[in-house]
A and B are shown apart, each in its own frame.
Chain A
Amino acid sequence: MRLDVRGVSLSLGERKRDARKILDDVSFTAPDGAFVSLLGESGAGKSTLLKVVAGILLQDEGSVCFDGRVVDGLPSHKRNLGFVFQDVRLFPHMSVAENVAYPLRMAGVVKRERLARAADLLERVALAGFGDRSPATLSGGQAQRVALARALAGKPAALLLDEPFSGLDESLREDMRSLVLRLHREEGVTCVMVTHDAVEALMMSDVVVALDAGRVVQAGVPQDLYERPATRKIAASFGDCSVLSGEVRGGAFRAAGLALPAPGVRDGAAVAVLRHCGLSLAPADASEAPAFAGASASGVAPVPSDALAIGEATVRCGVFAGESYLARLDVNDETLTVPVAALPKPGSTASVFADPGACFVFSAPK
């Protein structure tokens, strides 16, 4: 099913005068069978948008269309959607099998048939034999898998997932992501998932829709958002990075002793997002090389041949970070963090190199 959200706006509040705009003219499309992620930080309006799509909340303006048909007049229970909530919401007074069979019970399927389908679905989410158990006896990961099976039981036209992995341990998340993608592939169902984890959105989605303060700020394939982020927040959401304040003059960003190309950015106050994975250090003076690693010059991470020298900064300290060390450099009152192979000497001056594809400059918000 192709899902279209067109110009949806919604304000929420106890009274009209206290109402706050949660969604502001939101539009996006989830192509038939696609996996779409709604990405944004807390309060961006992602879950609210998902509830509007499900018909739980009624929008003030705009429409929701399934396969080109406007469904604004359809109540939630007639939209034929599956919904997986962040807090699972398994019915505690029903067994696991009864929970999974619930959509079929509502559809009028006879008991034997619906329990057989529930057993089949439980097997597919690796919970065979759990049917008679109470939801209270399940672990977080098991409960989330039951919720997933329940959402799919009614053969929904689209599956909506509201941060389905946020309550799980990191080790379980990867399993659940694989399971969701496998079921998505097998069922061929359109999926819309809310997440604040940009890397998760990259890994799972065909399309990512980034929301900020109730507005869509960028939508496209994951590579688009990663390589050409439209905002500072999107650029900074993909893994570790440093954010520096500075100024753009004549197409170049400057902050203390650093300068970055900033084509197309208007002159004035600006911020630069520098992803750690694209940064490297070299001693400003070759004779200072040992200072970076104590005894060995080879302690400095090798500088890639296509890296751009962006200036010099003073090393404040270095910290151990497991696979590598991190050098903290002073840039005005801010910190630039660069991964290095060995602990650098505090107080030494270093040349900073950057992969241009990992540095993004944006005009500072007024």
Chain B
Amino acid sequence: MVDRLALRRAGRAVAPYLLMAPALVLVAVFLYGVVGGVLQGFGIMPFLGRTDVTFEYWQQVLTRPDLAQSVSFSFYLALASSLWALAGGIVLSAALCAVRQTRLVALVDVQIPLMCAHILVVLFMVSLFSGSGLVPRVLHCLGLVAAPSDFPSIVGDASGWGVLAVYAWKEVPFVAFCTVALMSHVSDRFGEAAATLGASPLRTFFTVTLPLCKGALMKAFLVVFAFAFGAYEVPFLLGPTLPKALPVLAYIEFQNPDIANRSVAMALNGVMALVTTVAAIAYFVVLKREGKGR
């Protein structure tokens, strides 16, 4: 006779794994890519008959004269864009809380920017700010610049302001999206309490709302930082010729017709992975602290 109780027990034991299966597949694909990339960085490419571990490519990468500059430039882009995103996100989030997130405002300020691809933002930034774009021409008409070409070039400027502008447009709404719900709750619940205790709206924001949203803001900052450090398409299209951002360097090496050069690209990716891993660890530390605080 079938032991129905045992069957139910077995079903309950197996069910969580079955439900997790799609997520596990995704994790497996990710791990396969990471492990494959790391191994290629150490020269292991079985499809080319290379199976011996070598540090040659890492040595080649770490002794490149342009590596330090590329890492510094990527770090600068990531830090500056994430700080901009953080500051803008806080202001946008506070504004959305103040207007009680009317649907239209939230749509225009957050949802549309989140849905736009980076490449699309690059296109309209170029159409707005390039030498023949709208802004330089308007400034020229107003007499603020002698010629449209005097406006700092959005493409290839050494300061990378074009890259930062694209990231700001995309990531400010992302930070706001990550924090607005929490900020709204904090502002409603504790803002009222602070106001009755003599705190002005500004002091309430700095002494209560902002500290209580610190965890969410820190997490959003780290996500933007890791993304901006590792993304290649915006610095590839708008960044300067030299120094190149680290992901751009890796992409160029990856595109080299010599497939063996892929090991160099993977070693460069390894450097990027190390930096973003530090950001990921910081993210989980924040997450853990938040968990303890609750």
Report A's interface with B, CB cutoff 8 A.
51, 54-56, 75-83, 85, 87, 89, 91-93, 102-103, 105-107, 136, 150-151, 153-154, 160
Contacts and interface: CB of A to CB of B under 8 A. Distances in A.
Contact of A85 (B193, B200, B212): B193
Contacts of B193: 83, 85, 89, 91
B198 A107 contact: yes
B56 interface: no
Nearest to A54: B196
A83 B198 contact: no
B212 A76 contact: no
Given A91-B208, A92-B212, A106-B203, A82 B190 contact: no
B226 to A, nearest CB: 26
A76 B195 contact: yes
Nearest to B203: A106
A56 B212 contact: no
B212 A103 contact: no
A55 B214 CA distance: 28
Could you tell me the dominant secondary structure of chain B's interface residues? Answer: helix
A57 to B, nearest CB: 10
B194 interface: yes
B150 interface: no
Interface of B: 189-190, 192-201, 203-204, 207-208, 211-212, 214, 293-294
Nearest to B100: A14
A314 B189 CA distance: 54
Nearest to A107: B198
A102 B197 contact: yes
A177 B63 CA distance: 75
A77 B195 contact: yes
B293 A76 contact: no
Contacts of A93: 208, 211-212, 214, 293
Nearest to B197: A103
Contacts of A92: 212, 293
A106 B197 contact: yes
A150 B197 contact: yes
Ranked nearest first, the 4 interchain pairs of A and B with the lowest CB-CB distance are A83-B196, A106-B198, A89-B193, A76-B195
A107 B199 CA distance: 8
B198 A77 contact: yes
A75 B198 contact: no
A74 to B, nearest CB: 12
A93 B195 CA distance: 17
A89 B208 CA distance: 11
Contact of A89 (B189, B199, B204): B189
A154 B198 contact: yes
Nearest to A160: B196
A313 B16 CA distance: 62
A87 B200 CA distance: 22
A89 B201 CA distance: 17
A189 to B, nearest CB: 14
Contacts of A103: 197-198
A292 B195 CA distance: 62
Contact of B199 (A54, A106, A160): A106
Contacts of B201: 77
